[in-house]
Structure 1
Amino acid sequence: MDLEAVRTYLAVAEAGQFQKAAIDLAITQQAVSKRIAALERDLGVRLFTRTPRGAETTIDGQAFLPHARELLRVADRAVASVHTARRPLRVDVINLRGAASGLLRDFHRTHPGIELDVVKLLDIDEAVRAVRSGAIDATFRAVAAPGRPLPDDLRSARVIDEQLQLLTGPAHVLAGARSVTLRQLVGHRIWMPGILPGSEWAAYYDDLVAEFGLTIEATGPNFGSDALLDTVADTPALATFLSDGTRLVWPASHGLRRIPLTDPTPVYPHSLVWHRDNPHPVLAALRTHLAATRAAHDAPGTWTPAWTRRD
C-alpha cells in the first residue's frame, strides 16, 4: 500500500476538499485525484463521494480512517527508529542493580531530557554482536575477557572499578571482622550461584580463585538475589561476594554483614564499549559524562586480572 496515497487520503478527509488537500500537501489537485484513485483500486472500494461543497467520505472511507492514521503513526515510528538523533540511546548494563546501572541513573539525573533504553544482555558475545549491528549503542563490560579481544571496529573506555566486599550472615565466623584479607578467606566457602560459564565474570572469578587459593561454589539453581541473601543469612558456613556498588535491600532480621576486603582489594573493572562509527549524539554526551565523573582506576592496594584492559 502506497503510504503517500494514504497520507493524501487523510488530507482530503480532514480538509473536505481535493483542492484544499492539494494546497496542504503542496502538490497539484490532479496528483491528489490520481493518488486517491490508485488507493481506491488497491482497496477495491470508493473512499469519497464528490459533492457541491467538495468531498465526503463514504461508509468505507469512514471505516478506513482510523486504520489510515495508525498506518502513518507506525510508519513514522519506523523511520524514527533508524534516525539516531530521534530515538533513545540503547545501553546494556548486565546487572540492573550494579555499578553500571548506577552510572546510567546518574547520567539520566544530570540530563533528564535525554531518552534511554536500558537493556540487559548476559553473554559478552551477544553484546558485542549487538553493538556491531547497531541493535544497541553501548555496553558495559569487563574488557577484554581472555581470548576475546574486541573487534577492531569497537572502542572502549574504562569507567569504574567496582570493589568487592564479603557478605556474611550473623553467625559466620568472620561476621564480626572490620575487614578481611583475601588470604583469610582461604578454606571458607564462597557461594555464588548463577556464574555463567564462558562469561567475563566467570573468567574474573576463575583468576581470583587461582591467584589467592579461594573456594568459590557456583552450585545449585540461581533463584536470584533474594534467595541468595536468605541462604547466606541462615547458613553460617556460607558467604558470598557483593560489590560496593550493588544496591540490595534485605530484612533487618537477616543481620547480614558487608565486610571490606583488603590486601589487596579485588575490584571488578567496567568499561563502556561502543562502535567507532556510531553517530548517536547522546552516546557522545554519555562518554563525556563518564569521562568527567570517572574515578582513578588500578589504585594501589587493588587487584584485577592480568587480562583487564588498561585504557
Structure 2
Amino acid sequence: MNNEGVNLEKKFDQWLDGGSSISLDTKQTEIISKFTVFGEGDSQISGQNSTATGPDAAKESQQSKEVDSAKKEGDLDKLAKLLYESKGNAVASILGLAQSRSGWNPLDPEKKNNFDGFREFVSQILRVPYFSIQQSEDSSVHYSEENYDKLIDDVAGLYDSITAADKEQIKKSVVKLAKACTSRVNTSNTDTLFVQNTMNASEDGDIIVGLEQSYMLMEYDSHSGKGAPKDKYKTDIEVKVVELLFKGSIWTPEAARKLAAKFVKSWDDWLDDTSTPETPDSGKIKFCFG
C-alpha cells in the first residue's frame, strides 16, 4: 500500500472513532453553511426521500440481501468480504453510521432539533476520507402555477445531476416526499424543508451520493364564486445540491473489515429507513400531484 492509501486508512480509523479529530477545509465548511433555513415561517421540517439510480443499482440491492443475512448470522468475515465487493453497501453503512451519530431521523421529521441533526449528518459524511466533492451549487426559482403537476415537473427538473433514464423516478420521489412533508403543515404560507438523496451505482464500482436540499415557501391562493380567478399555487424554491464521489478503486479489504466490525447497514435498509413516510392526513390534501 502506498503512502496515500496508508493516510486514507489512518484518517478512516479516526472517522470510525468519531471523527472529531478530523478538521474540515474551507470548501467543506462552506457546504455545511449551505444547509440552512432562510427566513422565518411555520415549519422547519427536514424530511428525506432516498432513491437508487445507476446501472448497478439492482445489483447493489441484491447484494444487500446477502449483507442482511450475514449481519443476522454475525459473520464478520462474510460481512467484510461483502462490504469490500459491494461498494454500495459499504457506502450505505458509512451513511448509516454518520446518521446514527447525528441525531437526525427522517422517519420522524417533526422531531425537535431534527434540522440541526441533518446538518451534523452532512458534517459527518464530509469528514469521510473516501468521499470527494464532485459538485456543489445553489438554485433559486419562483413559480405561480394553477396546476401543481407542472410545478413538480419543474422542481424535478432542477436535479440535473441524474441521467435522463432516472428523471421520471426522481420526479416520483420528489412528489412522494413533497406529499409527506406538506401533509404535516398548513397549505398556506408553508415553509417546507426536505432532502432528495440519490445513490447512483456505476458499473465501475463508483458510488455518487447526491444530496439536494429543497426549501419551499408555498402559498395556496383559493378563490370561489362566479367569475372568481382560478386557484393558484405560488412557490419560492431554494435548492442546494451536493454530490460526493466514493471511488471504488481506492476502497480496501482492510477498510471494509474495520467498517464491518463497527457498523453495517445494507443498501436497501438505507433507502427504506431514510424515506419520510406520508401521514394519514396526506390523502386529504387537494394537491394535483402526479
Q: TM-score if structure 1 supplies the norm length?
A: 0.23
Larger Rg: 1 or 2? 1
Greater RCO between the two (CA within 8 Å, min separation 6)?
Answer: 2
More helix per residue = 2
Q: TM-score if structure 2 supplies the norm length?
A: 0.24
